Amino acid sequence: MALIAQNHLQLIIEVGIILYAAMVFILNLAPMSLSMVLFICIVLGIGFNIIFGLDVVALFMSFGQSEFTHPFGPIALLVTVSSLAALAIMEESGVDVRGLRGFVYLLMAGITLFGGLMHRSFLLLWLLGLFMGLFIISKSMRQRSLITVKRVAGFALIAVAGFGGLELISRVLGMPVLSPLLRIERLETFSLPSMKLVIKNTTLLGHNPMSSYWGELSSGFADGYISLPLQLILFFGLPFPVFYGILVNKKDVIDYMVPGVFGWAYDFGYITMFFLLIWCVGIIIMGLRMLSIYRERRENGSRSYLGREVLLTGALAAFMSQAIIGLFVINRTINGTALLTFIFLSSLIFANSVGVKE
């Protein structure tokens, strides 16, 4: 493979290699104490509340919202679950964390409200990630399982109330953009026809060029439906096909409104999609294995890996949630800048496996 990427897939792989190498270097050289990780997570949690809140204000004022929830939603999930894991370890050590826990819950409530108002897909990712994060924490701390009928029903009730509240707000304020029902109708309108298009035109190594937006100019591979941030491609002047200046609904048919497995299969072929799924499963298994090693070290009295343990807990919850929502619900959650976030989370999980002996 040439050093300068020749298409979108090569660029994704090359950026991934760079991120993996950088994260291994940073994680093994930077100090990762429990208190420092918790402090950074709380500061970032405050920051996400601010930028998500400003985005909601821009939405209500119809003034150029930036939709930060797509690229930063999984990172917000990472810092929140990491904070909860840190508090659980501190509480186990006899530290009174009631006041700090209340502040973290307040940050969680703010992110839930602001992010949910912006995107329903974020609300799904957020609630699923919190649920998995709390489950991982309970297992790591050998606590009584948090998965009970009552809690599952509670999460379901919160989700239903959230979507119902958004629908009510959208009708009262006359803002269809907030309506979950409208989004579901849009999914029906675009997803079913696009899935039929994908199934009919996808091959092992790409797709039928004439089924692409680019028509006869298409190479039948890496047409830009799955890509890293557009700004990154333009910054390096890479000659890739990009949807710059084209309205979203021109590419909805593949990009946003189908599950990610369909988008990846169409743009890069079934073989690439297969390896993507294998890679995701491998990263998750690797992360869970490292968590068990960290737990064993902690239970044997070692305090050296507490910061890495809580960071890995948050990264695992965020990565799994983003993978599930992005691959099987809506492609936008792992495309564009969100794809860069996805690779970053996986590199953080991978980096934990380097430099720690079992």
Q: What is the pLDDT of residue 45?
A: 94
Is residue 221's pLDDT more than 90? Answer: yes
Q: Nearest to residue 320, comparing CAs of 137, 41, 133, 86?
A: 133
Q: What b/e string do you get for 130-146 counting C-beta neighbours within 10 Å, with b at 16 or more?
A: bbbbbebbebbbeeeee
Alpha-carbon gap, residue 324 to 124, rounded angstroms: 10
Q: Point out which residues pair with 206 in neighbouring strands.
A: 203
Which tokens go with 186?
Answer: 């849009």
Q: What is the pLDDT of residue 332?
A: 86
Which tokens go with 146?
Answer: 């948090």
Residue 304: how many other CB atoms lie within 10 Å: 13
Which tokens go with 191?
Answer: 């997803």
Range from 142-146, 264-268, 326-330, 335-339 carrying the lowest mean pLDDT? 142-146
Q: What is the pLDDT of residue 204?
A: 94
Q: Nearest to residue 350, comparing CAs of 289, 260, 261, 271?
A: 289
Range from 44-48, 192-196, 289-293 carrying the lowest mean pLDDT? 192-196
Q: Higher pLDDT residue, 292 or 249?
A: 292
Q: What is the pLDDT of residue 1?
A: 47
Q: Nearest to residue 129, comparing CAs of 326, 337, 295, 285?
A: 326
Is residue 67's pLDDT more than 50? Answer: yes
* Mean pLDDT value of segment 196-208: 91
Please name the residues in contact with 309: beta carbons below 8 A apart, sequence gap of 6 or more: 85, 89, 140, 291, 294, 295, 298
Is residue 51's pLDDT more than 60? Answer: yes
128-186 tens-digit pLDDT: 999 899 999 988 887 666 566 676 677 677 777 777 776 777 777 666 666 666 666 66
Please name the residues in contact with 290: beta carbons below 8 A apart, sequence gap of 6 or more: 312, 349, 352, 353, 356
Please name the residues in contact with 26: beta carbons below 8 A apart, sequence gap of 6 or more: 351
